[in-house]
Amino acid sequence: MPYQAGKRLPGERASKLGHLDVLKSPLVQQLVQKFEEQDPSDLPPFTGWQPFPPLGKPLDIIFAVDGSWQPITDERPPYKSIAFIKTALVNLDQVGLSQIDKETPHPFAIRDLMSKSAAYHATALPLRHLYADGISVYNAVRQVIYESVKDESLQGEIMETFKWLVYEKWSNNPRPLPPFECPHCGGKNATLPIDAEKGNCPNCGNELFITDMLGFHLEMVEEAASDSVATAYMIIHETLLLFTGIRHFWETSKDVLSRCLFIKDGPLQIRAQYSKLVNPIRNFLLHANEQGHPVNLIGQEKTGTFVDHLNLISRNAPAGNLFIPDHVYICEKIQHRPPNGAPYGRDTNYGAKVFVTANERCRLVLNVPVKTSMGPFIANPSIDQLINIENILATLPSLLSSRHENALLPIELANSVASLSTYPSAQVLRLFADATVKKK
Ligand SMILES: [Zn+2]
């Protein structure tokens, strides 16, 4: 997703309500008048900021992932629709970063960098009334998702990462897939044996793909799929692309892994039924930390309620500070709902929200995984529970973009690759090999 236009310039002010005839109630009249005033000095000062902890060692190998998607709909009945989805992973080192002009990066410099340092994936999902050889949209989407995760242009590495996570192959005790709902008969006990990519439903005998465990079929009917299937696929593929880098270094060199920072565009979150991937990710991150090889991972949110809230509280905030909103704060101040019920993000998030004032101009909403001996989820994390936050904060200054407000250059570059339609795909393994060689 591209960075949005900045908000620092004063917008044009016009009365939004002046022409409305509303109830002649003094209270309503007063509220309407207050709405028009919008004086920022009315806000109580925010006092939750705390200074950065002592900074650690900057990380010198950077990976960033981003994706884009575009639905294309035929104007004529039956309004056929197809979604194009792209994801990209870029690799930068501190030398490469320092060579890019952050004010006005030369397009050729970026192109050269990207041709050596980017892996790229593109696919298309039918959304409505698009049939191939008598296969329904429902089954076509299932099959395309399965084949896309196996993408041979990425040497099948994304499927390997998917299996590595969901079967917990990184542990000494890999496990079968937790039971999921069969896309054919709806039986709740579908599963696959360890390391299988396909199998048959124990209930109806029909073919199952490993990707069915994520439940894309729950957002589809026979002839149409919801647009959210495309966005869910994009987010899952971005996540798997990034974890392919983590897996590669976990298996080949944990020393190099400890020098890498992995950056995801968007929150470290997988929503709804797709959140079945969240626990395996949390379990691995916790395991890596307990083994003494913590993974440096962040997500950056560029839009949404958390970014809006940061704009609200960061006015006049000191630079070099951070704030970690807890469950009650998120519910009451950001989501505007009572804080009863399950802790925020319990089932869907693998990182805590961290508001950061990187310098006088740059404010970021980051997501950072947490470590704990209490289990894989913490509702109210503290600074010292954020995995390797000292090193991540030490790396931030070299990542800040001068082109966009509150932007990270590696995400901008990943976005520029993900939004190109014909970018050549470097081989994914070569990308990691090059990153290792450069550092030796
Ligand atoms: Zn079945």
Structure tokens that stand for 286 in this block: 């916790």
Confidence of residue 10 (pLDDT cuts 50, 70, 90): very low
pLDDT at 206 (0 to 100): 96
Confidence of residue 72 (pLDDT cuts 50, 70, 90): confident
Ligand 1 center–CA 9 separation, angstroms? 57
pLDDT at 8 (0 to 100): 54
Ligand 1 center–CA 14 separation, angstroms? 59
Higher-confidence position of 200 and 41:
200
Closest listed residue to residue 238, CA positions, set 395, 135, 86? 86
Residues 6+ apart with CB under 8 A from 378: 352, 370, 372, 385
Ligand 1 center–CA 179 separation, angstroms? 12
Higher-confidence position of 130 and 207:
207
Confidence of residue 103 (pLDDT cuts 50, 70, 90): confident
pLDDT at 117 (0 to 100): 81
pLDDT at 423 (0 to 100): 44
Ligand 1 center–CA 190 separation, angstroms? 7
The label of the residue with tokens 């109210």 reads 380
The model's pLDDT over 363-387, given as tens digits with 9 standing for 90+, comes to 999 999 998 755 556 778 899 999 9
52-66, 85-99, 226-240, 424-438: least confidently modelled range = 424-438
Ligand 1 center–CA 188 separation, angstroms? 8
Task: Classify residue 289 as exposed, middle or buried by CB count within 10 Å of its CB (0-12, 13-18, 19+).
Answer: middle
Question: Phi/psi of residue 82, each to 5°?
Answer: -135, 145
Higher-confidence position of 30 and 228:
228
Confidence of residue 20 (pLDDT cuts 50, 70, 90): low
- Whether the CA torsion 373, 236, 422, 415 is positive or negative: it is negative
pLDDT at 414 (0 to 100): 87
Question: What percent of the chain clears pLDDT 90, i.e. is strictly above it?
Answer: 59
Whole-number Å distance between alpha carbons of 304 and 140: 32
The label of the residue with tokens 């980051």 reads 366
Ligand 1 center–CA 128 separation, angstroms? 24
Whole-number Å distance between alpha carbons of 408 and 317: 20
59-68, 75-84, 142-151, 181-190: least confidently modelled range = 75-84
Ligand 1 center–CA 135 separation, angstroms? 18
Task: Classify residue 440 as exposed, middle or buried by CB count within 10 Å of its CB (0-12, 13-18, 19+).
Answer: exposed
Ligand 1 center–CA 142 separation, angstroms? 14
Total length of the chain: 440
Confidence of residue 430 (pLDDT cuts 50, 70, 90): low
Question: What percent of the chain clears pLDDT 70, i.e. is strictly above it?
Answer: 86
The model's pLDDT over 144-169, given as tens digits with 9 standing for 90+, comes to 999 999 998 888 999 999 999 999 99
pLDDT at 100 (0 to 100): 73
Ligand 1 center–CA 333 separation, angstroms? 44
Q: Residue 68 forms beta bridges with which residues?
A: 86
Peptide bond into 54 cis (omega under 30): no
Ligand 1 center–CA 211 separation, angstroms? 15
59-73, 155-169, 243-257: least confidently modelled range = 59-73
Ligand 1 center–CA 183 separation, angstroms? 7
Structure tokens that stand for 76 in this block: 């004529």
Higher-confidence position of 106 and 228:
228
Ligand 1 center–CA 221 separation, angstroms? 16
Q: Mean pLDDT over all residues of the chain?
A: 87
Q: Where are the domains of the chain?
A: 61-420+428-439
Ligand 1 center–CA 184 separation, angstroms? 5
Ligand 1 center–CA 213 separation, angstroms? 12
Ligand 1 center–CA 209 separation, angstroms? 12
Residues 6+ apart with CB under 8 A from 267: 299, 301, 306, 349, 351, 353, 367
Residue 54 pLDDT greater than 90, yes or no: yes
Ligand 1 center–CA 223 separation, angstroms? 19
The model's pLDDT over 289-309, given as tens digits with 9 standing for 90+, comes to 999 999 999 999 999 999 999
Ligand 1 center–CA 198 separation, angstroms? 13
